[in-house]
């Protein structure tokens, strides 16, 4: 199951590259990237893919094929997912001088690169399954651009579970279902009194309810001041809503993959209830994010990129994905 879940990271990478190729990302306005970093953003992702080919032609082929067959409705979803999380991060950074960002289930995500370059006071910690971060570590060190921009050595001097151990960036191997090990590593690599952003992007949906709740409570209790940003699908709670059951069936048949809590936390309200009532929780589905949080000038830019005739399909999909922000 661990390896099957890890394969979903290639889906996310291919979707990100497709959205970049079509011009949806980066959004210089909302991700606040100066021109040089906007170019770097595109370069980082493309070079990550090219270097992936050196270590796994099979993974490269999967990503490349999926990237080339991406539809506008998928590019919109990737845009909303990426920008929604980034805007939440940037808003928290505006309000706090020194911040650490902990990306749980980081996969191949390269969000740490622009953050480290734009904000000298930020520290980033990436955590995921050992196989995922071992591959990520190899790619970051093999590719000259990625290696230089992260100030890494070509050979890994660091040993598992901490594969990159810098003052401002750490890459850590850990099964997040092992709550004791997770909290022990976070105790070692982060500070409880520094304002902390926790990112769980399509992570909790693949965990069983007990482990996911233990992770939420254990990690959020570690930090005196924090923001938990979570992006996940929800199954849908209306009587005739079959989105969740169809999604579960497709995942079982195509990948033998389960989303254990998709139908348990199948509405915004139920999903938000996973966090303590004492926290300030804001939750939106991604259709709401598109229509209320993306400025009209940006929506106009998106419309100019590709002709989108699947508007109803976009609405159905994006009302079944949520962005949750819980601050304490």
Tokens of 211: 């482990």
Tokens found for residue 90: 């940037």
**What one-character DSSP code corresponds to residue 26?**
-
175 is in an annotated binding site: yes
SS3 71: coil
d(CA 302, CA 304): 5
Beta strands at 122-128 and 321-327: parallel, antiparallel or unpaired: unpaired
Q: Assign residue 62 a region (left: φ > 0; alpha: ψ between -120 and 50; beta: otherwise).
A: alpha
Distance of CA 159 to the CA centre of its chain: 25
Residues 6 or more apart whose CB falls under 8 angstroms from that of 322 comprise 230, 231, 232, 233, 234, 268, 271, 283, 284, 285, 286
Q: Which residues neighbour 272 within 8 Å (Cβ) at sequence distance 6 or greater?
A: 281, 283, 324, 326
Annotated binding-site members for S-adenosyl-L-methionine: 81, 105, 175-176, 201
Annotated binding-site members: 81, 105, 175-176, 201
């Amino acid at each position: 199951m661990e390896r099957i879940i890890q394969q979903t990271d290639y889906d996310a990478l291919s979707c990100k590259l497709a959205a970049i190729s079509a011009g949806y990302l980066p959004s210089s306005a909302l991700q606040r990237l100066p021109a040089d970093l906007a170019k770097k953003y595109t370069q980082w992702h493309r070079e990550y893919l090219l270097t992936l080919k050196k270590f796994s032609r099979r993974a490269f082929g999967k990503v490349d094929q999926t990237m080339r067959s991406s539809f506008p409705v998928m590019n919109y979803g990737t845009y909303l997912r990426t920008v929604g999380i980034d805007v939440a991060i940037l808003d928290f950074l505006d309000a706090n001088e020194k911040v650490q960002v902990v990306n749980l289930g980081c996969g191949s995500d390269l969000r740490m690169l622009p953050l480290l370059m734009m904000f000298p006071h930020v520290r980033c910690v990436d955590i995921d399954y050992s196989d995922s971060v071992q591959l990520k570590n190899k790619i970051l060190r093999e590719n000259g651009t990625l290696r230089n921009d992260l100030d890494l050595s070509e050979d890994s001097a660091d040993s598992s579970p901490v594969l990159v151990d810098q003052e401002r960036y750490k890459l850590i191997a850990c099964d997040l279902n092992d709550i004791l090990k997770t909290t022990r590593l976070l105790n070692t690599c982060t500070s409880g009194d520094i304002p902390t952003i926790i990112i769980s992007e399509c992570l909790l949906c693949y965990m069983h309810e007990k482990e996911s709740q233990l992770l939420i409570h254990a990690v959020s209790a570690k930090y005196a001041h924090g923001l938990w940003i979570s992006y996940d699908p929800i199954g849908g709670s209306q009587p005739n809503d079959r989105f969740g059951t169809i999604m579960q069936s497709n995942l079982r048949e195509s990948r033998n993959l389960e989303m254990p809590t998709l139908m348990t936390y199948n509405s915004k309200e139920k999903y938000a209830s996973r966090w303590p009532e004492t926290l300030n929780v804001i939750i939106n589905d991604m259709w709401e994010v598109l229509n209320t949080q993306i400025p009209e000038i940006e929506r106009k830019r998106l419309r100019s990129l590709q002709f989108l005739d699947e508007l109803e399909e976009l609405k159905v999909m994006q009302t079944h994905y949520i962005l949750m922000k819980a601050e304490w």
